[in-house]
Structures are given as C-alpha cells and as structure tokens.
Amino acid sequence: MSARHYLLRCTACARSYTDDGHRLTCSEPHEPAYLRTEYVTKSLLPREGEAGLFRYRDWLPVTEATANAPGTVIYRSRGLAARLGLSELWIAFHGYWPERGAFAETATFKELEAATVLGRRADRPGTLVVSSAGNTAAAFATACSASQVPCVLVVPEGALGRLASRQPRHPCVRLVSLGGGADYTDAIAFAARIATLSGFEAEGGGWNVGRRDGLATVMLAAHEAIGRTPDHYFQAVGSGVGAIAAHEAALRLGEEPPRLVLCQNDSYAPLHRAWSSSLSGDEIGLADLDGDRAGAHASTTPELTNRQPPYTVRGGVRDVLKESGGTLVAMNDAAAATAMELFSECEGIDIERPAAFAVAALRQEAEGGLIARDAVVLLNITGGGRERFRRDHTLIPAVADVRMHREQALSADALDLVGRLT
C-alpha cells in the first residue's frame, strides 16, 4: 500500500489512525462519530495544469488519481443574481453544460464522490457494495466500469431510470434493484447485508472520508475562484453529507465557515423536522428520524429521502449547522417548480429537481431580506444539464442483474443470489 499523506482523526475521542483505504469508524467505545482527515499539507496549493477535483489532490485521501476526473464549475452569476438583487452570487455547477466546461455524464455531483472513493481504496481486493437512490449508483457504475473495479450497486426499482448511460456497464459492475415499494433506506439495509459476505466491502456512504473529501472540493474550487470562503452556502440535502463536507473544507482552509442554509422537500423532511425540534427545545433523537415509508415513497425527490440521515452523529448535520450559525428549511414542490423555471430562464440550463429546492430557499431568503445584497453567496447546483445530455447523446437503459421484492431481500437466499454474481 502506498504511503498516505494524511491521518484519520475521530471527532469524538481524537484518536488518530493511519488509513488503510477501508476504515469507516473509530474503534473506541463511544457515541457514533465521523472520522476526519488531517493532511500533512496545511496550506492548499492547487496543482497547476490539472483539471477536475484532483487539482486539489493534496487534500484528498487518495493514492491514485484517475484521468478525466470530474470537477466543479464555479462562476459568478449575472442573470439570477440580478433577479434576486445579489451582487456576489456564485454558482457551483455540477452536471452537463459543455459551454461552461461541465461534462459530468451522470449530471450530478455524485461523480466527485465516486472518483475519490475509488482513489482511496486503490489496489484493495474485494467487491465494493454501494447503496443509492439513483444518482450515486450512476456515478459508481460509470467510474467502476472505467476502472474495472468490481462493484455491486443496490437501488430501489424506481431509480433505474437514472442509471441510463452512454456506455454499457462493464461486466464487473452488477446492479440489484428492489421492488415492492422499496426506498433508499431499504437499499442501504440490503447493501449492508451484502457487505457482510466474504469478498465484499461496504462503501460506507457519509462515513467514508473519501466521499466527504471528494464533495469538499466544491468549497475548495469556490475558494480558489472567489478568493475566500463565502458568507452563505445553499444546498438541497437528503443525508446532508455534501453540506458537512463543505463545512469541513472551510475549517481546513482556516477561514470562517459559511452559514449553511440547507433545504429539503417539505413532503418528506426528517432533517428539517429534527432541526426545528432542536430550535423549540424539544429535540428528537436519531431513531425518530426514520419517518414513514409512505411519505418517502410519495416524495417527488427520492434523492432527498434518506430516512436515516447523519443528524446526531458527532461531526454530522446538527453539529455543522450549529457551528456555522446555519439553518435548515423546507420548501414545497410548487416553489421548486418555479425555481427550476427561474434558473433556466436566468442562467440558460436545466437543473435537477433537488437542486431547485436550493434555488427556492435562496430566493426566499433573498426576497425576505435575510441576506445582505453584497454578501458572498455560494449556491450549489448539485445536478443539472440532464435534459441537455439526453438531447446530445443516445442513452442505454439500465437493466438490473437481479430484481427482487424488498421483503425477499430479508432472506438468506437473497444473499446467496447476490453472492453468485461475482
């Protein structure tokens, strides 16, 4: 294994570890707590001549960088900024927008996660197991196919449409879909069971520092473009891992973290409910966030319906909101639909529905006078250009290698079936 240029530090007990490319948690007996990376290089110097997220490789937990890596396009808004009366509105765009230099084939920022996770576990044997509501699976399908890394992707059946791709999946990438009303939380649970099989390895989601530090490059790219960290940061969230990553990046830069303004779809908003309860003094626990399956299933944004988000985890959503003086709001579908049209009209590109909730939250705060007109604001468009990509390319529909009812996934036979895939 190549020497690592960083350590892992527990946010609860401060114990440090030399990374093996696999560790997800601290070994000490204490409350659930994230590990964070501590890099040898304390002042970030982007690598000249490199594009994409590996421009910030000194602050990425990787031993291997892939060619043609995805990145974040940062630009200063004119159209939307003028409409909202904000003189320093900057946009972090993730997706497909050739005129802006954005070529993410999955049209979301999940490609940042996949590239870093694979770079972190370079040369590790075994089959990676990834659960997803759709976009993450699409990113890992593309990245693992390109690198020929064995992987099993577990998604709800309704997410298959998001996995249509320009290139066929490599045979080493297997896809399992769960029907019978299964949602993202069911996919997480079944993926965890698969990862217990010999020769399989859990990817880890937000517990994986590769995911968080990959997403942290959004803030690093913004800092390079703007020259400082923003005053406010807007993002739509399901788990909130991207926002946690943005906060961690600001701390690593040694600057004042931006005020996090996170948004959920009010049709299913467990994080918003938890945050609101803390403001009222009647805080709910992590177990109470599971929420109702019917509500999650009915949401128009399945990507934002994580029923077990890292809210009370040390270093999780609650902590970063408190540390940044941030807030968590919920917007309705009508506000998001209006925001999608507004962004397309002002900026000239389609955006994904989850990203529209962030735009709606920004609009609400700007029009409500909650943001100074000259404040530096970063709006994270987590996905965009999907319709443009579909117009420009012929896509291959995703077909699952194994399809099963969510109740069948609880059986031992289901594990045997998946185990025979590789």
How far apart are the C-alpha atoms of 395 and 161, rounded to whole Å?
11
What local confidence, expressed as pLDDT, does residue 1 receive?
Answer: 43
Task: Count how many residues are written for the chain.
Answer: 422
Identical fold for domains 73-107+209-390 and 110-207+395-419, yes or no, is yes
pLDDT of residue 292: 66
Phi, psi at 363, each rounded to 5°:
-60, -45
d(CA 221, CA 414): 43
Q: Where are the domains of the chain?
A: 73-107+209-390, 110-207+395-419
Do residues 413 and 189 make contact, with C-beta atoms less than 8 angstroms apart?
no
Please, what is the angle between helix 110-120 and helix 209-226, to 10°? 120
DSSP 222-280: HHHHHSS--SEEEEE-SS-HHHHHHHHHHHHHTSPPPEEEEEEETTS-HHHHHHHHHHT
Q: What is the pLDDT along the chain (422 residues), one digit of tens a residue?
A: 457 999 999 999 999 999 999 999 999 999 999 999 999 999 989 998 888 999 999 999 999 888 888 999 999 999 999 999 999 999 999 999 999 999 998 899 999 999 999 999 977 788 999 999 889 999 999 999 999 999 999 999 999 999 999 999 999 999 999 999 899 989 999 999 999 999 999 999 999 999 999 999 999 999 999 999 999 999 999 999 999 999 999 999 999 999 999 999 999 999 999 999 887 766 666 556 655 677 777 888 988 888 889 999 999 999 999 999 999 999 999 999 999 999 999 999 999 999 999 999 999 999 999 999 999 999 999 999 999 999 999 999 999 999 999 999 888 899 988 888 76
Q: What are phi and psi of 262, to 5 degrees?
A: -105, 150
φ/ψ (deg, to 5) at 308: -135, 60
Model pTM score: 0.95
Q: At what angle do helices 241-253 and 209-226 cross, to 10 degrees?
A: 60
Is the CATH code 3.40.50.1100 the one for domain 110-207+395-419?
yes
Architecture of domain 73-107+209-390: 3-Layer(aba) Sandwich (3.40)
